[in-house]
């Protein structure tokens, strides 16, 4: 795709997710770099802080916490990626069955804004929707701020 966007087939724009856009990985690495040995001399448990566990957590987030997005996942766990049409359409938002599809039910319930994405694609096209979502992501909108829990 021309804009090289990070998005899920299901209609969720991954660049709004701190795992999907790489920010968790990046910030954990930076925090790890900035706090190298800073707290190592704290007595274990001082203020409820455990240096070894802190480092282990940062290393986990820096080295392994990144979402490749479903477009790059080798073994799909998501029902959307098990759809027989997944190779035919660039995004479920382009499928006429999206609003009634049992495979996108989870996304429509947890991320109800995807319904607006579906409608917006009909108005302006898929590429334009991705441009708009990238702008929202750049302005600071995060997925965890707009999804339902």
CB neighbours of residue 88 within 10 Å: 9
**Integer Cα distance of 105 and 81 in angstroms:** 13
Mean pLDDT along residues 84-93: 89
User: Which residues constitute the domain of residue 37?
Assistant: 23-65
Residues 93 and 149 both lie in one domain: yes
Residue 148 confidence class, pLDDT cut points 50, 70, 90: confident
Residues 146 and 125 both lie in one domain: yes
Residues 81 and 147 both lie in one domain: yes
pLDDT at residue 123, rounded to an integer: 98
Mean pLDDT along residues 72-78: 72
Residues 32 and 44 both lie in one domain: yes
Residues 2 and 47 both lie in one domain: no
- HSE of 26, CA atoms in CB hemisphere, 13 A: 6
**Quick one: tokens of 45?**
């448990």
Residues 84 and 128 both lie in one domain: yes
pLDDT digits (tens, 9 = 90+) for 3-48: 677 788 899 988 888 877 888 888 899 988 887 666 666 666 556 6
pLDDT at residue 114, rounded to an integer: 94
Residues 127 and 116 both lie in one domain: yes
Query: Could you give the number of structural domains in the chain?
Result: 2
Residues 56 and 117 both lie in one domain: no
User: Above 70 in pLDDT, residue 77?
Assistant: yes
- Burial label for 27, CB within 10 Å (0-12, 13-18, 19+), is middle
**Quick one: tokens of 93?**
């938002």
> Mean pLDDT in the chain?
84
Residues 33 and 8 both lie in one domain: no
Residues 10 and 82 both lie in one domain: yes
Rounded-to-5 percentages of helix, strand, coil across the chain: 55, 0, 45
């Amino acid at each position: 795709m021309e804009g090289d966007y990070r998005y899920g087939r299901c209609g969720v724009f991954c660049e709004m997710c701190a795992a999907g856009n790489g920010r968790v990985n990046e910030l954990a690495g930076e925090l790890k770099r900035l706090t190298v040995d800073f707290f190592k001399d704290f007595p274990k448990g001082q203020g409820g802080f455990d240096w070894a566990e802190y480092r282990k957590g940062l290393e986990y987030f820096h080295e392994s916490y990144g979402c490749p997005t479903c477009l790059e996942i080798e073994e799909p766990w998501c029902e959307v990626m098990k759809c027989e049409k997944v190779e035919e359409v660039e995004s479920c938002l382009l499928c006429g069955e999206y609003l009634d599809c049992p495979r996108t039910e989870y996304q429509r319930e947890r991320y109800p804004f995807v319904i607006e994405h579906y409608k917006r694609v009909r108005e302006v096209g898929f590429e334009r929707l991705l441009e708009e979502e990238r702008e929202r992501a750049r302005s600071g909108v995060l997925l965890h701020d707009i999804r339902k829990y």
